[in-house]
Amino acid sequence: MFIDGQPVDEYVDRLIQEMHMVMAAHPDEPIETVYIGGGTPTALSAAQLDRLCQGIRRELNFTSGEFTVEANPNDLLGTDKLAALKANGVTRLSIGVQSFDDEILKRIGRTHTVADVLAAIKNARAAGFDNLSIDLIFRLPGQSRDKFLDSLHQALALDLPHYSTYSLILERKTVFYNMMRQGRLHLPSQDVEADMYQDAIDLMAANGRQQYEISNFAVPGYECRHNLLYWQNAHYFGFGAGAFGYIGRDRYHNFGPIQQYLQPLREGHVPVIEHHLVPLTEQMEEELFLGLRTNAGVSRQRFKQRYALTLDQVYGPVVRQLVARGLLADDGEHLTLTEQGKQLGNEVFEEFLITEPLVD
C-alpha cells in the first residue's frame, strides 16, 4: 500500500525494526505508556495497524498500561480499524476534531465534517472505547468567539472524559504562515484569543473537566498519563520518521522524510540524524517550562533531588518577581501558574532561561 506515493508497508516493517534495534541497546528501560501519533496513524489500513500494534507489543515488551492512538474522524467511519486497535489492547483514542463548524473545517483544509465526528465517536464507543479525547483549536481564520463557544458546547455535549484545546500556531512554510506574511490571513485579535481560552477554562470546569495542564482538561482519573510523563521532563523513546527521543541526557532526532528515514534502516543502522547532550542548565529550564504547564506545578523537592541545587539557588529572584507580578504562586513546596500566568504562559517561561552562571 502507498499513501501519497510512500511505501507504507515497508515503513511499518522498518519502524518495527527500529524498535527492535533500539530496545536491544536498552533492554532494561521500562515502557509505561505508548502513544502513536504524528498526524495520521489511522490512515494505515486495518491490517497495517494490526501489524504495527503487534510489533509494539513484541518489541517494546509493553504488556499493560495506557496505549493511545491518534485518529482522524473520517478514518473511523468503518469498524475494521477500530476492531484492530481494540484487539491489540489500545486503551485510548485521541481524535483530531479541531472545530464543530463545517465552514471552518473546510477553510482550514480538514477533510472531515461534523457529521463524521459524531459517527466516529459513536463507532468508537460501540467498539468498546470509553477513554476518548478530542481536540479543539481556537484563533482559527474567520472564527468568532461565539463560533468557538458553539464548538465547546457541542464538544461537551458528547460527554467525553478528556478534551484538549489549543490556540492556532503558525508554523513556518505552511499555507497559513505565508498568508499571514502577505497580510491575507484574518485571525481573531489577541484579546478575543484570550477570551476564547478563558471560555474553554470556564466551560470545562462547569462540566466537571478539571484543567490539569494548560491545554488539557479531564474527568479525574482520565488524565493522559503519557503526556504527564512528558511534562514531568521524564525520559521517553521516539520511533519513526522525524521522531524525537530523550534518554539519559541524550535528546535525539530521527531523519524526517520517510525515504531518508528508511535508508539507514535498510543498511542496518538506527535512523538518528542528530544527538544533543542536554546540559544541566537546559535540563533545569525544561523542568520549569514543562512542569509549570501542569496544575501540579514544579516540586521544590523533586528539583533539588534531580539537580542537587535548590530552586531558590537557581531561580530565587525570578520566582519572587513573578510572584509579585501575580503570575506565579509559591506555597513553599510547589510553584504553579496563576490564572493570569496561564494566559501569559510563554512570557513566564522566558523568565526561566538561565543567562548567568549557576550559584553553587
- Structural domains in the chain, CATH included, are 30-231 (3.20.20.70), 280-350 (1.10.10.920)
How confident is the model at residue 108, as a pLDDT? 86
pLDDT class of 4 with cuts at 50, 70, 90: low
Mean pLDDT to the nearest integer, 200-204: 98
pLDDT class of 183 with cuts at 50, 70, 90: low
**How many angstroms separate the Cα of 303 from the Cα of each of 168, 280, 335?**
32, 12, 11
Per residue in 251-263, pLDDT (tens digit) is 999 999 899 999 9
How confident is the model at residue 186, as a pLDDT? 76
pLDDT class of 63 with cuts at 50, 70, 90: confident
Mean pLDDT to the nearest integer, 86-93: 97
Q: Retrieve residue 46's grid coordinates.
A: 486495518
pLDDT class of 40 with cuts at 50, 70, 90: confident
How confident is the model at residue 221, as a pLDDT? 96
How confident is the model at residue 2, as a pLDDT? 41
How confident is the model at residue 187, as a pLDDT? 86
pLDDT class of 121 with cuts at 50, 70, 90: very high
Mean pLDDT to the nearest integer, 300-308: 96
How confident is the model at residue 105, as a pLDDT? 94
Share of the chain above pLDDT 70, in %: 93
How confident is the model at residue 360, as a pLDDT? 43
In this predicted structure, the answer to whether residue 222 has a pLDDT above a threshold of 60 is: yes
Cβ atoms < 10 Å from Cβ of 274: 10
Q: What is the 3-state secondary structure (H, E, C) of the chain?
A: CEECCEEHHHHHHHHHHHHHHHHHHCCCCCCCCEEECCCCHHHCCHHHHHHHHHHHHHHCCCCCCCEEEEECHHHCCCCHHHHHHHHCCCCEEEEEEECCCHHHHHHCCCCCCHHHHHHHHHHHHHCCCCCEEEEEEECCCCCCHHHHHHHHHHHHHCCCCEEEEEECCCCCCCHHHHHHHCCCCCCCCHHHHHHHHHHHHHHHHHCCCEEEECCEEECCCCCCHHHHHHHCCCCECCCCCCCEEEECCEEEEECCCHHHHHHHHHCCCCCEEEEEECCHHHHHHHHHHHHCCECCCEEHHHHHHHHCCCHHHHHHHHHHHHHHCCCEEECCCEEEECHHHHHCHHHHHHCCCCCCCCCC
pLDDT class of 28 with cuts at 50, 70, 90: confident
How confident is the model at residue 3, as a pLDDT? 59
Lowest model confidence (mean pLDDT) among 38-47, 78-87, 239-248: 38-47
Give the pTM. Answer: 0.93
